[in-house]
Structure 1
Amino acid sequence: MKAYLDQVKPKPPGLIERIVSLSSINGQELVLDFFAGSGTTGHAVINLNREDGGRRRFILVEMGEYFDTVLLPRIKKVTFTPEWKDGKPKRLATPEEAERSPRIVKVMRLESYEDTLNNITFDEESGQKALELFGDEYLLRYMLHWETKKSEPLLDVEKLQSPFAYKLRIYRDGEVREQPVDLPETFNYLIGLDVETRRVDYDENRRYLTYRGTTRNGRKVAVIWRETAGWTQEDYERDARFVDERGLAKGADEVYVNGDSFIPGAQSLDGVFKTRMFAGGEV
């Protein structure tokens, strides 16, 4: 128990602030910590930006179970205000500190091998029988390519019609639970999109989520997400009019949408999503 506590014991951020400051050139650096522990590096970067007005960003990597109980709560608290005591804000951030604080902290979780197995479903009864007969060797060599092509971990393209409701079964805290998956953010990552704007529009009860940004090859891209399950031709025509009226695709070199569409120049992201997910392997 002592070793565990020593491992996650928060360290004073002053030393890390000094190291980052000495290696900083213009205050725009990206600071990486592949063994984040209790989150001291992120804490230090936030403090340093508040002190000198820098725009440094940080990436913290941690696989320990204490990520949710120690690291993430610490970063959330420091983002809200600089000083805390006994779990409560000691003072609120000044307007200048608030202006120099992070605007968003993004948490990304990698799907584990166990999570993938938890989400496998079989298209044919024969697949289950083969698994019982031949065991894991068959699973790894054949079943993941054939009997499970429509399983959620391999991306069920049909479910992209309802992108905001996509879920996976994830193992957490000793149990398997369903958890929403952020497909839009995942797609942005897969195509290398440097996001400049994130916009939400409503056509009555229809929600539109649009990302605008630039890819690594300099192309201006718009990615438009909406719920299309059960749509008719009339719905797609209404969809195209709404996108045009709101200018959601205006000025973009490439326009991606989930599912089908009548939007001029738009291409379905479904195939691109699956191809990029499994680049280098079977798709």
Structure 2
Amino acid sequence: MNNYDNLQKVLKEIFEMDKADLDFGIYRIMNQKRRQVMDFIERKLPEDIKNILAQTQTKDSITLQKELEQVGKSLDDAGVVRESSPKYLALRQQLANAVDTNALEQEVFSHLANFFKRYYKDGDFISLRRYKKDVYAIPYEGEEVKLHWANHDQYYIKTSEYLKNYTFKLKDGKSVHFQLKEASTEQNNNKTQGDKERRFAIYAEQPVEVVNGELYINFTYEPQPKSVKQDDLAKEAFDVLVKAVPAEFALAFDKAPTEKDKNRTVLQKHINDFISRNTFDYFIHKDLGGFLRRELDFYIKNEVLYIDDINDRQPEFFTAQLSKIKAIKTVADKIITFLAQIEDFQKKLWLKKKFVISTNYCITLDRIPEKYYPEIAANQAQLQEWKELFDVTITTAEQLAFEPYLVLDTKFFSEEFKDRLIGEFDNLDEECNGLLINSENFQALNLMQEKYQDTIKAIYIDPPYNTDSSEIVYKNSFKHSSWLSLMHNRLIKSKMLQQENGFLFIAIDDLELFKLNELVELLYERENFYSKY
């Protein structure tokens, strides 16, 4: 494999060209640019490099070699000694000083491949600035102490946000959808109870459906004994689908081999991708374009432009070097622009305030007009909750007048009833003395920013301890770095809500105690600590 082939391979991996059959979410956006990206990688990229190098190389070594051979042959035919010809000697000197443009092209391809693959791993760009072999540099801005981690400039994205359907297309254009028929998720980092963990499994009651010519494959996501492995459930799902998938979707069983599994099918590939996508958390870079451009400058200064060569090189060498640097920087900037557009779009989606799916109110009966009592007393779900929570049995509407502090939950009532009841309050916000948000924590904090900024007196959080029993599962195994990014993203949002004299309490165990201490000190400064243990 030559350097250009290697660069193509790296770029196709970064742009996820192998996922052209996926038809949901960000992949739809990428598919819109896929043809443009492929045209750039396969055609424009080598043309751009060749044109840039040609601007400063009037004649490369191949052209000079051909011209030298022609002049030499003419001199031989005329019976003239080659070394007696000034023109021949001048061309030979030019050839000795010339830099092979083709060799320069290969160098540019090699540098571009090396640069991009060192920051990219399994779908994410990791901030590892390599100074030299096994030595990395960190961005330092004169702080007394610098806390740095591999994912410090990224948003940590929890998989619970993406527990959604998955779609891909077969070669004949038919769509296949994976959907969850039954799913339960633990919200807000609650652990699964007992000796169980959630696993994906085929929905045995109805594994497949065909709707309007499209295939739907049904999964469940439910607690399973820890002894039941996800890989075994995935294999079981495939065995069921071999028999259940209709013949018109037979292309789902085409081969999609890997080095380890030569018999892997398209369907097996997507089952594994679907499970992985909803199992591993990942990152979105906060400023991918700025990060890669800064790293490119560092890379060029550190690994392309060698200052020590200034005194012992011919001027032609530096002309070639400048040409090479220009080619690397120009082409890399175009690639970075493509990548940044995709990453920035994902960032906008992540930071965009999410829709509130449902809103309910808990209201004590003393605030509710008695005209609503007959409807309330007729609601069996509400009556059952009062029995379970307060051991209060209500059988008639009249009894409600003697229970003024029973709490009505509007989730048990129709939207029409809820609208009428809420309409009884002139200023609902002022009368509410508590707010409960059931959400992914970053999105909840983001939603609260405008209304609650600088108003919160005390914050108590109980984050995942990142121990073996509750370890956050990040695909690159940057265990502590991933955890720090999760905490950093959310603590910054929390701090913006606090009053100047507010308190922050964090429950943590020994494993991440010291890293958390450094992080909180970075955000709040040491003099604001009341207690660290």
TM tier, smaller: under 0.3
TM-score (norm 2): 0.17
More relative contact order in 1 or in 2 (CA 8 Å, sep 6+)? 2
TM-score (norm 1): 0.28
Higher strand proportion (structure 1 or 2): 1
